[in-house]
Structure formats: structure tokens, C-alpha cells
Structure 1
Amino acid sequence: MKKIAVVLSGSGYLDGSEITEAVSLLIALNQAGAEVSCFAPEVELSVVNHIDGKATGEKRSVLVEAARIARGHVQSLSKLHAKDFDAVAFPGGFGAAKNLCNWAEKGAKCDVNPEAERVIMDFFNASKPIGAICIAPALIARVLGKQKVTVTIGEDAGTIAEILKTGAQHEECPVDDYITDRETKVVSTPAYMYGDAKPNQVFAGIFGLAHELVEWA
């Protein structure tokens, strides 16, 4: 049984992990026969009201919020090491662009959470697969851009332009599909980068990504 790590960034698409994407990933990885463990950074997030989309001014723990999705079974990102797993995957949601890095603020010039960067580099250097969903491929591009990694976030022109500034390559992709970079072993799918996507379409792309990750692992 392959062991796959999933890196969460909170709970809720406006300030954490996109829940449909995260749950789809967990289900698809289990369907593919993998044993899944969840991790999240020990940092604070700025809470957003998911009804009106406005910041509340409240701060919460990313790790504690991620535990909502992982049913309490989540560990600090500092405990994730490539030697213990066969692959790693990052769901999307604004948390990937706010809590794992500040892409939402700075785009291609963003700063990356040190533990998130360490994990990505650990898996890359160990030649172990990395999965990225929705906006999370931008995080991968920021870290692995100099390696000429190819990712997808769908077809959003503004985000694609920023990704290209990192040195990474971009390939357009429909919501229910995924793309693979066999040189860097990165798999990505756009998911809710298509804002009007249906959950079944999002799941289809993530299902493909998950099975590709497990096959490579």
C-alpha cells in the first residue's frame, strides 16, 4: 500500500483548503489503494465569512481548522518528510495562496512558508510525485519554476501570466482532466479554478490525478 501525504491549508475555500477538492482527493486516493495522512502548517489564518466573502478580523490556527476536514487526524507540516511517504498532494482553495504562501498578494514574487517549501523540495529531490489542485500549482511553480516544471490552473490568463514569470511552464486543461510533467513528476488539475464547475467535474479531474499519483508512487 502506497503512503500519500496530503497538505491542507485550513478549512473553507476563501481562507483555507477547498473542502470539495480536499474530500475528493482523500476519497480518490483511498479508492486507488493508498494510505493517506494529512498535514498542515502551524500558522494562523485570517478568517473570511463564507456567506458575504468579507474578512471578519478573527485569527484561527491553520492546523486546527484543517483538523475539521481530516476528522482530527492531522499533524504539523514540520513532521512531514519525503523519506516516510511515496507522494504528496496539495488541494487548492485560497489557503494554498494565503497560508502556504502569499501568492494571493504577491503573485510570482510571493514568499513561501518555509515548511511548505522544504516539503516540496524534499519530494522533488527524492524524485517522488507531487500533486497540485486548483491554485496549488502556482505554489509548486514558485518553488520549482527554475526546474521548468509544467503545471495547469486551467485557462485563467492572469494566473497563467504570473506562473510563467516563475520560470515554470503552463498547459491549459479542462476541469475534468489533469496534466502530468514526467520530468519533475508533478501532476496538476484545475478543479475550482473553473468557478462554475460542478462537483462531479471537479472530482473527475482529481480522481485522475490521484490515480496517476499512486501509479507513479
Structure 2
Amino acid sequence: MIRRVRRLLTAVAGTLIATACALALAGTNAAHAAAPKPKPAAGVDITGDELDEPLRLRAETHPGEVTAILDQVSWLGRTGQQRGPKAADLGPKYTVVVLAVDVPTKTYDLYPLAKGGPRIYRPAQQPDRSKTLAGWFYGRLNMSETLRSAGAPLEPQFDTLSGGIGGGERAAAEESLDPAQDIDAALAELQRLLLLNAGVMVVITAGLAGIALLVRRRTR
């Protein structure tokens, strides 16, 4: 009788653990599947100094230019510096509007010739009404050449060509100054996993308690 009870206990416990593991895996996959995927950008509009009309670049006709412009702003972290350079030190300004299916989603102000290195300002109010913190960021050293290649009236900057002295890197390691680009998403994912694991433990504990109660009744 005792052996049968032990076998029953082992089998049920194994089933509960396997079921809990399956639930945990399913919950993790569901969390990843539920995360919204960003829509691919369809193009960019650029306005700024000495531009008589906006530069309207679309991925279908100017894929290289659109990708290069997006690379200038796609890495920005959640928070930036609250104060930027003095207005006299900013130089020419170019406003980039990112489009998805011809609908404006993001906007940035680029200053390729700012004193101390290229700068980017991200306004708090975005076209897609997303919650964004306004801030200043250091830009990539090849910002001027990227904008010039897209059609902006800027003088060539041979020392910042990709592979040259500038190498296309940022003027400052902004990612090292602000490593929280994806930390919010990581913390949210960790919280979901912790809650899921807690639920699994509750299921296992309740199952074992039920088994123990069943065994106790049968052995009386």
C-alpha cells in the first residue's frame, strides 16, 4: 500500500512539475508574441537651412539615404541632456520627420555643425503622440556627410566619411552615458517572468498539498 502511494505521489508530482514548466514556457512565449512590433519606416522628410523645399525621401526610391538618415536617430536612449549648446554654437538646423506609410511618427532636430560635435534634439511632443522625454544627444560624426548625401546644402566633411578618421561613430559614447535605452523593456520582461514563476510555485505547492491530503486520508 505504501509503495503504491509513493508511486502515485511521484507520478502526480512529476505531472504537476511538467505542467507548470509548460505553463511557464507558454507564458514567456505569449509575452514575447504580445510585444508590438515597430512598423517599418516608409521614408523621411527633411527641412532646414537653405532648403527651398523639403527633401522627401522614400524607402522605395532612396533606400540608402533613408537608412542612413534613420541610423542618425534610431539609437537615441530614453533620456538625454536637459540643456544643449548655446544657440550661437548650434549652426544650421535640419528637422527630420520619420514617416510610416506616409504618416509622420517621429521628429528630430539635427545640428551637424554644432560646436563640439554634431547634436540632436528630440522634442517631447512627437507626431504619433507617444510619451517621449525631450532631450539633447550627441550625434554621429558623419551626420553632416549623411545630410549632404541626402541633398542638404552642406560643405563636404572629408574627415568624417565612413571608414575615415571619424569612422561614422558618435562624437561621444552616448550609449555609455545613457545605457537605459532598453532597460525599461528589460525590467518589464523580468517582472512578468517573476510573476509567472511565482504563479508556477503556487500551482506546484497547491498540488503537493492536495496530494499530501489525499495520501493522509488513504493511509488512515
With normalisation by structure 2, the TM-score equals 0.24
- Which structure has the highest strand share of the two? 1
With normalisation by structure 1, the TM-score equals 0.24
Structure exhibiting the larger radius of gyration computed from Cα positions: 2
